[in-house]
A and B are shown apart, each in its own frame.
Chain A
């Protein structure tokens, strides 16, 4: 049968792809961390890393920002989720929009905007000082934690509000009938039911927090984490220490792997599929409770979206060189149009190219995983987990290590950036495709076959139209991730292949905030458009963003 031949080719191709882009590069990172500069096998790098006070500190700092971000995201996210899904909040959709804005903006924009407001010469801080209130600058650990909490709370919010609106009201009414007070009811019924969502959302925040590079780099001021440490060691002009950088990468991967496995375990425990006959309804609060709920929701939503708002406003401010003047002008945009057009072109080309690759290959692999369940495909499913645990900075370093020399040299090309985005985002598409296919089930195709369509035509005529909206939406969300990617591109870029996030990062380091803000606004606009298109196809399914 020709079809089996086709899928066998897909299977072989997928394994080749995974080996070439994942196992060999990442494997070589692992291996190179086990050799010293002279090429002899050694565990010395690990011993040195464990003994090195600086790396020890980075290790604990990573855990600190991870769990700090987790705690902040949990608090903000669950308050917002509870208020929005249980009370009537005026403008609830607008609040959700604010959360989505916080989610799709790259974290380093957040860091930068907070510096504008609360840095040493931050406007909010200066204003407060003028009325006699002295607050510390945002730099350091507290700043990172604030940024992470406000940046990652949407993970918790979207997960938990989804779970909360799926708790059958009858359960709570039953508890009420058994004599539980509202507080007891919340603690004994609602809380256990949303606990899996809560922990899964929290761990997502944690995973992103420990992998984040931009925020600690910009706002940390000497507060080092593993991601920044790996980058510093890699990029040091003199004495670049590749083997130590890879050693730290491996430690970071291991750490992230633990949490990803926990996250998957938690989301799999999300098994309370009650019947949805009795959907929960929202209560209209009165008096001070109503004010408090609205205040909480809007405060969190606006604080999370402040970076975006600041960036947009600052992009229109009049500048003289890198210095802001009073008044508004389009100078920053002019500078982009005349000087940085190629950066935008690069970003768009790379993102579109990788999304096209992701959609074509990811859909094919998704079909393979969903429809041909053998040992080989479930192994493949497992192997596709690997990119989930890879922080971008590690993929970047791994690609440099693998494609710098040897049979395929890709360093400095556009291909290496496209491929690094491709391999990181591929598993998401494979998963959405295969789960969409599993949902459709074979009956629909069988109906078409019984009506006279060959299996292949039935697939084209029935299954493909049904999964296409999901694929397009997935592609748009991949595009958002692709165009906002900083950490791997920062390692992989050369002058010709500079992307918008890299340029923004460098502009902020140079102190040219106006241009950075304008470029950020363009980036946000592109991301927002993609999210809008995705929602058009998915029907406003905010959980798909996770």
Chain B
């Protein structure tokens, strides 16, 4: 039995809007579990339902087999980190972190021991006596994190905790969050709309859209083996191959024609980094095809370069790693090689075919 189980959760707001449709997930002890999706997909609603701030219309939430349905939020023993930090501006850093311990009637000397520990873990040990008002967003969120963890909750919930921070800090802090979570071995549920963040931080990812689960799996499964067109396009980038004789020819060469014929209006996509500028892709023994085209645009990004190539299959973007060390053609006609496993097919409903 999983540590946290959400079974058939449905949440309706008013008569018309359904934020969650029959969602079931389970999270293991010590697991870092991420809810990923665009805004309005229901991920925050699910998180707030687990915290107890939303009542589910139907369905159940259990921790270690105990139903939380009738437990009010303040008795659920769940640490929560907020997008806007929600750090109490009238309390010092120390008192912010001690706030939850006081509610639990923890003895004074134990508070004096545990709070500095938690502050050291988020590297704020030196700022304990300061008021949070003048602190940076990153520091405030560290307070939020320490405050949620110091109570040793059963579950740590994080609602887009990094989305108000700048890019560099986001990367830095997400590594820290991940390290701390592993260190104390707590089960954590993390909400984000940033796919890169989700891939970097999670043990498992649950991709959601429109209140339902699109796919649930490890980061490798989500990125490398997307089960729906939505997941393929939301996590990472894709080139959609234009339907027509060129696509039919490509699919025949790759031995995918039968599969395509079995599904009317199927859609075929390929990730930019799986296209190779060359006559032949790396030898792997699987069927390969070549696409010829003409370079329309060259974008240099330092560690990689993006080539936009006009072909009979539409404009394709090809990523070239380390452009300074590889001789990249900047203009003119090119040939792009693609292996069979790089081409992903989806049926008319957006479900993966042949995966």
Q: Which residues from chain A sit less than 8 Å from chain B, CB to CB?
A: 441, 443-444, 446-455, 457-458, 461-462, 465-466
Task: Decide yes or no whether B82 CB sits under 8 A from chain A.
Answer: yes
Question: In the bound complex, how far is the Cα of B244 from the Cα of A89, in angstroms?
Answer: 73
B88 contacts A451, C-beta separation under 8 Å = no
Question: Quick one: given A455-B74, A458-B74, are A446 and B53 in contact (CB under 8 Å)?
Answer: yes
Interface 1/0s, chain B 67-100, versus A by CB < 8 A?
A: 0000011111111101010101110000000011
B90 pairs with A446, CB closer than 8 A = no
Question: Are A466 and B90 in contact, CB atoms less than 8 angstroms apart?
Answer: yes
> Which 5 A-B pairs rank lowest in CB-CB distance, beginning with the nearest?
A451-B100, A452-B103, A447-B86, A450-B80, A443-B86
For residue B51, CB closer than 8 A to chain A, the reply is yes
Residues of A contacting B90 in the complex (Cβ-Cβ under 8 angstroms): 465-466
A444 touches B88 (CB 8 A): yes
Determine which residue in A441, A449, A450 has the highest number of CB atoms from chain B within 10 A of its CB, and name it: A450
11 more A-B residue pairs beyond the given contacts A446-B73, A450-B78, A454-B72, with a C-beta to C-beta distance below 8 A: A444-B86, A446-B53, A447-B144, A447-B147, A449-B73, A450-B148, A451-B147, A452-B100, A452-B151, A457-B103, A465-B90
User: Cβ of A451 and Cβ of B86 under 8 Å apart?
Assistant: no
In Å, the complex CA distance between A453 and B80 comes to: 13
How many whole Å from B48's CB to the nearest CB in chain A? 9
A449 touches B86 (CB 8 A): no
- Chain A interface main SS type: helix
Q: Cβ of B104 < 8 Å from any Cβ of A?
A: yes
B162 to chain A, nearest CB (A): 16
Query: What distance in Å separates the Cβ of A357 from its nearest Cβ neighbour in chain B?
Result: 27
Contact B53 A462 (CB under 8 A): no
List, in ascending order, chain A residues with CB within 8 A of B99's CB.
448, 451, 461
Interchain nearest-CB distance for A58 vs B (Å): 52
- Given A444-B86, A447-B80; A453-B53 close (CB under 8 Å): no
Chosen A-B contacts, 30 in total, with CB atoms closer than 8 Å, are A441-B84, A443-B84, A443-B86, A444-B88, A446-B53, A446-B73, A446-B80, A447-B80, A448-B88, A448-B99, A449-B73, A449-B74, A450-B51, A450-B73, A450-B76, A450-B80, A450-B148, A450-B157, A451-B79, A451-B99, A451-B103, A451-B147, A451-B151, A452-B77, A452-B100, A452-B151, A453-B74, A454-B72, A457-B103, A462-B88
Among B51, B77, B90, B104, the one with the most A-chain Cβ atoms within 10 Å of its Cβ is: B90
Q: Which residues of B contact A449 (CB under 8 A)?
A: 53, 73-74
Minimal beta-carbon separation of B38 from chain A (angstroms): 22
Most buried by A among B72, B100, B144, B151: B100
**Minimum CB distance partner of A464 in chain B:** B90
Report whether A450 and B88 are in contact in the complex, using a CB–CB cutoff of 8 Å: no
The residue of chain B having its C-beta at the shortest distance from the C-beta of A442 within the complex is B53
How far is A457 from B100 in the complex, measured between Cα atoms in Å?
Answer: 12
Q: Which residue of B lies closest to A440 (CB)?
A: B89
Across the two chains, which residue of chain B brings its CB closest to A444?
A: B86
- Inter-chain contact total with CB atoms closer than 8 Å: 60
Is there contact, CB below 8 Å, between A443 and B82? yes
Interface residue tally for chain B (C-beta within 8 Å)? 26
A444 to B84, CA, bound (A): 9
In the complex, what residues of A have CB within 8 A of residue B73's CB?
446, 449-450
Q: Kindly state the separation between the CA atoms of A412 and B90 in the bound complex, as whole angstroms.
A: 46
Q: How far is the CA of A210 from the CA of B94 in the complex (A)?
A: 54
- Inter-chain CA distance A462–B89, complex, in Å, is 9
Residues of A within 8 A of B76 (CB): 450
- Give the nearest-CB partner of A462 in chain B: B88
Q: Which residues of B contact A443 (CB under 8 A)?
A: 82, 84, 86
1/0 contact trace for B145-175 toward A, CB 8 Å? 0011001000001000000000000000000
Q: Which of B73, B77, B104, B144 has its CB near the most chain A CB atoms (within 10 A)? A: B73
CB-CB under 8 A from B151, the residues of chain A are 451-452
Digitize B132-153: 1 where CB-to-A-CB distance is under 8 Å, 0 elsewhere: 0000000000001001100100
Q: How far is the CB of B168 from chain A (nearest CB, A)?
A: 19
- Provide the residues of chain B in CB contact with A457, threshold 8 Å: 103
Give the distance in Å from the alpha carbon of A451 to the alpha carbon of B52 in the complex: 12
- Whole-angstrom distance from the CB of B104 to the nearest CB of chain A? 6
> In B42-73, which residues have CB < 8 Å from any A CB?
51, 53, 72-73
CA–CA, A451 and B157, complex, Å: 12
- Shortest distance from the beta carbon of B99 to any chain A beta carbon, whole Å: 6
Question: Is there contact, CB below 8 Å, between A450 and B89?
Answer: no
Which residue on A lies nearest to B100, using beta carbons?
A451
CA distance A462 to B80 in the complex (A): 16
Cα of A152 to Cα of B344 in the assembled complex, Å = 73
Nearest chain A residue, comparing its CB with the CB of B103: A452
Are B74 and A454 closer than 8 Å at their CB atoms? yes
Question: Closest residue of chain B to A443, judged by CB?
Answer: B86
Report the Cα distance A448→B86, complex, angstroms.
9
Nearest chain A CB to B35 CB, angstrom units: 17
Report the Cα distance A462→B96, complex, angstroms: 11
Which residue on chain B has the smallest CB distance to residue A466? B90
Docked-complex contact B103 and A450, CB < 8 angstroms: no
Docked pose: A220 CA to B73 CA in angstroms = 65
Give complex CA distance A455, B82 in Å: 18
> A461 to B103, alpha carbons, bound, how many Å?
11
Q: Min CB distance, A116 to chain B, in Å?
A: 48
Known contacts A443-B82, A444-B86, A465-B90: does B51 contact A453 (CB below 8 Å)? no
Q: How far is the CA of A441 from the CA of B89 in the complex (A)?
A: 13
The interface residues of chain A lying within 8 Å CB-to-CB of B82 are 443, 446-447
A314–B84 CA distance with the chains assembled, in angstroms: 56
A460 vs chain B, min Cβ distance (A): 12
Known: A465-B90, A466-B89, A466-B90. A450 touches B84 (CB 8 A): no
Q: With A443-B84, A443-B86, A444-B88 in contact, do A450 and B79 touch (Cβ < 8 Å)?
A: yes
Distance between Cα atoms of A159 and B211 in the complex (Å):
46
| Bound-complex Cα distance A221 to B73 (A) | 69
Question: Considering only CB atoms, which chain B residue lies closest to A455 in the complex?
Answer: B74
Roughly how many angstroms separate A452 CA and B74 CA in the complex, as a whole number? 4
* Cβ–Cβ < 8 Å partners of B72 in chain A: 454
Residues of A within 8 A of B86 (CB): 443-444, 446-447
What B residues does A452 contact at CB under 8 A?
Answer: 74-75, 77, 100, 103-104, 151
Taken together as a complex, chains A and B put the C-alpha atoms of A406 and B86 apart, in Å, by 54
Which residues of chain A are near B79, meaning CB under 8 Å? 450-451
Give Cα A462–Cα B51 distance, bound, in whole angstroms: 19
**CA gap between A487 and B49 in the complex, in Å:** 56
Nearest A residue to B79, CB-CB: A450
Shortest Cβ gap from B342 to chain A (Å): 43
Complex Cα distance, B80 from A448, in Å, reads 10
| A448→B89 CA distance, assembly (Å) | 13
A480 to B82, CA, bound (A): 40
A195 to B12, CA, bound (A): 44
Which has the most chain A C-beta neighbours within 10 Å: B53, B74, B100?
Answer: B74
**Shortest Cβ distance from residue A473 to the other chain B in the assembled complex, whole angstroms:** 15
Contacts of A462 in B (CB 8 A): 88
Q: What A residues does B144 contact at CB under 8 A?
A: 447
The residue from A441, A444, A450 contacting B74, defined by CB atoms under 8 A apart: A450
Cβ of B89 and Cβ of A453 under 8 Å apart?
Answer: no
User: In the complex, A350 Cα to B112 Cα: how many Å?
Assistant: 48
Q: Inside 8 A of B53's CB, which chain A residues have their CB? A: 446, 449
Return chain B residues, CB-CB under 8 Å to A448. 88, 99
Q: Which of A446, A451, A457 has the most CB of B within 10 A?
A: A451
CA distance A451 to B152 in the complex (A): 10
Residues of A within 8 A of B78 (CB): 450
CB distance from A468 to the nearest CB of B (A): 9
Closest to B53 in A: A446
Q: What residue in chain B is nearest A465 (Cβ atoms)?
A: B90
Cα A461 to Cα B96 in complex, Å, equals 12
What's the Cα separation between A462 and B90 when bound, in Å?
A: 8
Is A453 touching B88 in the complex (CB atoms < 8 A)?
A: no
Bound-state CA distance A448–B148 (Å) is: 10
Give CA–CA (A136, B73) in the complex, Å.
Answer: 75
Instruction: With both chains docked as a complex, state the minimum distance between the C-beta of B240 and any C-beta of chain A, in angstroms.
Output: 36
